[in-house]
Structure 1
Amino acid sequence: MTQDIYQNLTQLGGATRLPESPEQAELERVPNPQADVAYMVRFTAPEFTSLCPITGQPDFAHLMIDYVPGPWLVESKSLKLFLGSFRNHGAFHEDCTVSIARRLVDFLEPQWLRIGGYWYPRGGIPIDVFWQSGPVPAGVWVPDQGVPPYRGRG
């Protein structure tokens, strides 16, 4: 494998400011050098934050993003910056979770993607949001996300 698949990355390897909003965040991708193999990739974001669109109070979640790559891999620093751009973004839990998944599906064209948004309680009620793009491809091992139902998560 040659390094030229990484030549168009602009955020990796240097200081990069957190985008002001998810719309301004620039996801980056590289060609999948193992595109002939069906395998799963997991990203865990245990400190995801966004804002309540009504009160402006912070909301916190543990996000689990699983995907079976197609032609592209997401560059992880760009994903981190994209997720961080929600810090000042006001949206309900459901909107944040599904918006993240849909943007990744549109950008990466994966064989399959799922997201689990395990949101911490606000007003005494935790809200967990789950979405996936379709059935799991045959032959791919997909482990449980491992986040238990809320009981004082920690």
Structure 2
Amino acid sequence: MSDKDIYSDLQQLGQQAELPASPEEAVLEKVPNPQAGTDYMVRFVAPEFTSLCPITGQPDFAHLVIDYVPIDSLVESKSLKLFLGSFRNHGAFHEDCTVSIGKRLVELLDPKWLRIGGYWYPRGGIPIDVFYQTGPAPEGVWIPDQGVPGYRGRG
């Protein structure tokens, strides 16, 4: 199967694509893993993730780190970018945003392993960090630390 064939069903890559109005409307796409049968880790970092407080409507900001070990499929990165951007006008608590993103990726990809760290910036003086993981990390795969230090404020 050629690269052109495995990418032919993508609706967003290489096309004009509007930011979805909500995470429910966002279309996450996947492509076949060209290294299926080899265990390796993929990392996406979204240092400027934004959502809204569901009560006040005030903006919330987070640094997200998504790590996964694929089996048969990879998430297509433009669709992931648009999916994450769809939270910009979405009201949800930090915990809901972080875990929902992780679960949606697991549903799409059925990876060997996935974790997401949501490092939320303080509101009301309290930072909230949220972590979701599908199980123990697979043996034999290099899983580096997410590299995000705990919030120290002015230290």
Indicate the TM-score class for this superposition, using the shorter chain for normalisation.
Answer: over 0.9
Structure 2 CA distance, aligned partners of 1:70 and 1:54? 39
3-state DSSP of counterpart to 2:9? coil
Please name the residue that 2:125 is paired with.
124
Q: TM-score, normalised by structure 1?
A: 0.97
**What do residues 65-103 of structure 1 show as CA deviations (whole Å, max 9, x unaligned)?**
000001110000000000000000000000000000000
Cα shift at 1:33:
1.1
Partner residue in 2 for 1:2:
2
1: CA distance, partners of 2:86 / 2:50: 9
Report deviation, 1:124: 0.2
Distance 1:152 1:104 in 2: 31
CA distance in 2 between partners of 1:101 and 1:70 (Å): 16
The alignment status of 1:68 with 2:74, answered yes or no, reads no
Q: Residue 98 of structure 2 corresponds to which residue in structure 1?
A: 97
1:96 partner SS = helix
* Paired residue type of 2:116: I
User: Following superposition of structure 1 onto structure 2, how do residues 76-95 of structure 1 map, counting pairs within 5 Å?
Assistant: 76-95=77-96
Q: Secondary structure at 1:129's aligned position in 2?
A: strand
What is the CA distance between 1:14 and its match in structure 2?
A: 2.2
5+ residue gaps, structure 1: none
Task: Tell me the distance in 2 between the aligned counterparts of 1:24 and 1:152.
Answer: 36
Which residue is 1:108 aligned to? 109
Hey, what does 2:35 align to over in structure 1? Answer: 34
Post-superposition CA distance 1:34-85 (Å, at most 9, x none): 1110000000000000000000000000000000001110000000000000
Quick one: percent identity of the two aligned structures?
78
Asked if residue 44 in structure 1 is aligned to residue 35 in structure 2, the reply is no
Aligned residues: 153
Residue identity opposite 2:103 in structure 1: R
Query: How much is the aligned-residue C-alpha RMSD, in angstroms?
Result: 1.0
Runs of 4+ in 1 over 4 A off after TM superposition: none
- Gaps of at least 5 residues in structure 2 are none
2: CA distance, partners of 1:38 / 1:114: 15
The one-letter amino acid paired with 1:112 is: W
Measured after TM superposition, the shift of residue 152 of structure 1 is 3.0
Equivalent-residue separation in structure 2 for 1:72 and 1:6 (angstroms): 12
Secondary structure of the corresponding residue to residue 11 of structure 1: coil
